[in-house]
Amino acid sequence: MLKRTVTVILSVFIAIACIAGYVYADLNDVVPGFLTKTKPIIGKEPPLGESVQLGDAISAQMAADAPPVDPRELVPAWEALERAGKEQKFTPGVYVADLLTGEVLLDENGQTPMPPASTIKILTAINAAQSLDPAATLATRVFIDKAGALHLVGEGDLLLVAGVGGPKANGRAGVADLATATAKALEGNERFSGKLVFHEHIFEGPTREQALTDGLEDWVGHVAPFAIDRGQMPGGEYQPYYDDPATQVAQTLQEALDSAGVQVELEASSEPYDGQGELLAQVHSVPISQMTRMMLMDSDNTLAEQLCRLSSVAQGAGSTLEDAARNLVEQVKNTGVYSDGLSAVDCSGLNVANKVSPRTLVESLLYLQDAGVPAAFNIVRDLPVGHFSGTLNKHFEGDLAGTRVYAKTGTLDEVSSLAGYVVTERGRVLAFHVQSSGMEEGAVFTRPAIDDFALALAKL
């Protein structure tokens, strides 16, 4: 079973590496193709094509019987990172293991709990995969009660679009679609009172960690029963979040209903809907698995906190932020991985008070191969790919070996981290976690040293 699972994992890496590597090479004119970053010279004849080989940058063989890595081969990479730590005054932490055998190849401060930054999202994703149905969607519904009042009720879809939804919409479900269906269902309904009650909470406690609100409003939104584009204000990638995303959805629905000829007055309710009513209309989100992928690819803090609370509720552990963070730690421990010193106060990694050792993350990555949960296994291919996707898209510039790094990034003022998998030049798959820690600020400038370590692994 183990050999078969590893073979499947290797096939995933083969496919991603070949696609990512060729696209990157095509963009940089290393191989023939339609993609390029070079501007054309107007008025000149195009050059004749030449036969080009990718060389050894992409392994010809990626198999379970690829030659193993000798731990001594990692010493130069560690020494380079250690020198960078002395120069930039940070504490490096590294843990590397062979995916097939589990052999630990490098452990330097690897069992020391450190702030993981966003690499903790790997643990959040694993927990979501094991507690939530990956194929399930989250519904946003409109009911009508016996008194004729409408009730807007959500299951936690933060990816609504204001207009029409569909496969091309970011989160699939559209508020305009919900309004159209509601208006149609109300035709000839004499019971309708003209009131729309929106239920603004599905979780207990604060909707965002209070310690993170000062200066971090642009980095994390509020958990909620529903939101449009995670409750983020329009205008760019890092815009502030609305303080009350549920109200924004209700107001958007009110406007859409008005356009459909139905006028409503809004009323907020902090109480859960009692379910005593008739369903008029509903829209559904993308599957949970796709939300998890978006969370990992984009390092989305709001989705991480939302998924973590949904997981906690599903596991009967409560719905507050504290409940979710405590449950995350307990679920990691339940997997049997190393967990000494593990603690969490959130599930997105924004709080420097989180503590996770590199060994915990690497053993969690190893755990994915035999967890027995297909959705957990899929996390392997949900990680960003160097040069190619997500938050690793602009890492490893100029080095094709970076396309063999599949990892989650993490960055705070005090921390820069990277955790995931790397396919070596000889075709061996390693699980790794590398990070800088202990800085007061400016950890972003340690990224080159972190990236260089991952590249060194890819070139083994």
Kindly indicate the confidence band of residue 353, based on its pLDDT and cuts at 50, 70 and 90: very high
In which residue are the tokens 């630990």 written?
104
- Does 287 have pLDDT greater than 90? yes
pLDDT of the residue at 34: 38
* Structural contact between residues 326 and 317, judged by C-beta atoms closer than 8 angstroms: yes
The mean pLDDT value of the chain amounts to 88
Token pair for residue 417? 């981290």
- Does 124 have pLDDT greater than 80? yes
Q: How many helices (H) and strands (E) does the chain have?
A: 12, 12
Q: Side chain identity at 185, as an amino acid letter? A: A
Where is 124: in which H helix or E strand? helix 121-131
Query: What is the share, in percent, of the chain residues with pLDDT greater than 90?
Result: 74
* Structural contact between residues 247 and 268, judged by C-beta atoms closer than 8 angstroms: yes
User: What is the C-alpha separation between 213 and 216, in angstroms, rounded?
Assistant: 5
- Does 38 have pLDDT greater than 70? no
Work out the number of other CB atoms within 10 angstroms of the CB of residue 51.
6
Q: Is the Cα dihedral 57, 61, 62, 65 positive or negative?
A: negative
List the one residue out of 432, 393, 109, 54 whose CA is nearest residue 237.
393
- Does 49 have pLDDT greater than 70? no
Phi then psi for residue 281, to 5 deg, are -160, 155
pLDDT digits over 127-143, tens only?
A: 999 999 999 999 999 99
Q: How big is the CA angle at 319 (ends 315 and 321), to the nearest 5 degrees?
A: 115
User: What is the C-alpha separation between 254 and 44, in angstroms, rounded?
Assistant: 58
* Structural contact between residues 376 and 148, judged by C-beta atoms closer than 8 angstroms: no
Of residues 230 and 49, more confidence is placed in 230
What separation in angstroms does the CA of 318 have from each of 253, 310, 355, 440?
A: 30, 9, 22, 34
Q: How many residues does the chain have?
A: 460
| CB contact set of 120 (below 8 Å; sequence gap of 6+) | 344, 347, 348, 349, 354, 356, 410
* Structural contact between residues 197 and 269, judged by C-beta atoms closer than 8 angstroms: yes
- Does 175 have pLDDT greater than 70? yes
Token pair for residue 16? 């991603």
List the one residue out of 216, 215, 248 whose CA is nearest residue 234.
248
User: What is the C-alpha separation between 322 and 318, in angstroms, rounded?
Assistant: 9
Q: Side chain identity at 180, as an amino acid letter? A: T
User: What is the C-alpha separation between 32 and 22, in angstroms, rounded?
Assistant: 9
pTM: 0.88
User: What is the C-alpha separation between 150 and 354, in angstroms, rounded?
Assistant: 42
Of residues 41 and 9, more confidence is placed in 9
What separation in angstroms does the CA of 41 have from each of 24, 38, 47, 223, 230?
A: 22, 9, 11, 51, 43
pLDDT of the residue at 69: 97
- Does 45 have pLDDT greater than 50? no
Range 39-63 average pLDDT: 38
* Structural contact between residues 122 and 364, judged by C-beta atoms closer than 8 angstroms: yes
3-state secondary structure of 385: strand
- Does 64 have pLDDT greater than 50? yes
Rg (CA), the chain: 24
Token pair for residue 284? 């559904």
Strands, E, within 385-457: which ranges? 405-411, 416-423, 429-437
